[in-house]
Amino acid sequence: MTKMRSANHGERLFGRFGAVSPIDKAEPNQEAQPRRAAVPRPLLARLVWPVAFGATTLLPSLPAAARALACPADALGVSRTLELDARGGFQVGLKSYPQTLALEDREVILTFDDGPAPPTAKILDALASECVKATFFLVGRNAAAMPALVRRAVAEGHTIGHHTFSHPGATLRRLSDQAARAEIEKGVAADEIAAYGAAGAVPRTPFFRFPGFADTPALIEWLSARNIAVFGADLWASDWTPMTPEAQLALVLDRLEKDGRGIVLFHDTKQQTALMMPAFLRELKRRGFKIVHVKPGAEPPALRAAPPGWTSETDKIITDVFAKETHAGRKGKAKASPPKVPAEPAN
């Protein structure tokens, strides 16, 4: 299993300014390719990898009704659904906030960021084959480019959350408050048009996740006043780092076993995640984990406080990255030489 230090996770997560997906650097309907050959070739992936990991089907995507009928009796399924009341707002996810949803031992919430993208279809296939529901935090411009995938996710019972319109590389923390609000509102509108054909004054799903988890007190207050909940994460899949599906599977399972429960962050822009997902869901079932689905409703959220000594891991990473940027900029000016162009963020 690949071992990585927490600091390395953070650098790859936030990159130069924030967790920018490679799909945001390309056309919305194109998938960025891994920088090294970490996953099998397409033909081998269809013929070898699914056999090794026991994929349930090699058939093309089926209509939702057909998938429901084909769902096996021993599927992982959804253990329970939390219909959360977002009035007044709330913030959850121990990577960023001192509280999270009060999940029981071995309960897992699956979330996916940055889509839709080509791998989203494979991820939806995997979820459908195990009768599992997840939450997708969409990038608005990608939703506008691939509305059929958004409508499919809605039709299959998944929750549609929001993740800004363009996933700005500077993160919302380095935009003006007015520009950040506009970026959020534009993203919500694009998501809703893609999903439902029209955008209303109030989001149908009042769930939001900050790009790079880079929030601000002013934006939290504004979202709360609009009755929008903010989701962080309890565990990272680290799928912004190129690795084989086998390595990613081992990494995520190891973290889940250590924490025992939580909101897990994946990216449905990643082919390695799509290839891993069938085996991951079956392994959750084998190890006794249960899926919890979240959607809007009237239940006040039951919250679990962070353990004593908690600090925000994401806030520390963002602060460190910004400090390094500032230091590098000052050093460059002192030498009277043009600044170097930073490497593309990994996520």
Show which residues are catalytic: 113, 267
Whether the Cβ atoms of residue 227 and residue 88 lie closer than 8 Å to each other? yes
Q: Give per-residue burial for 174-199: e unless 16+ CB within 10 Å, then b.
A: bbeeeebbebbbbbbbbbbbbbeeeb
Q: Is the dihedral of CA 3, 7, 12, 18 positive or negative?
A: positive
Q: What's the Cα-to-Cα distance from 88 to each of 85, 220, 266, 331, rounded to whole Å?
A: 9, 11, 27, 44
Whether the Cβ atoms of residue 2 and residue 250 lie closer than 8 Å to each other? yes
- The number of helix segments (H) and strand segments (E) in the chain equals 12, 12
Which one-letter DSSP state was computed for residue 55? -
DSSP 3-state percent helix, strand, coil across the chain (nearest 5): 40, 15, 45
| Euclidean distance between CA atoms 159 and 295, whole angstroms | 6
- Estimate the crossing angle of helix 245-259 against helix 271-286, to 10 degrees: 40
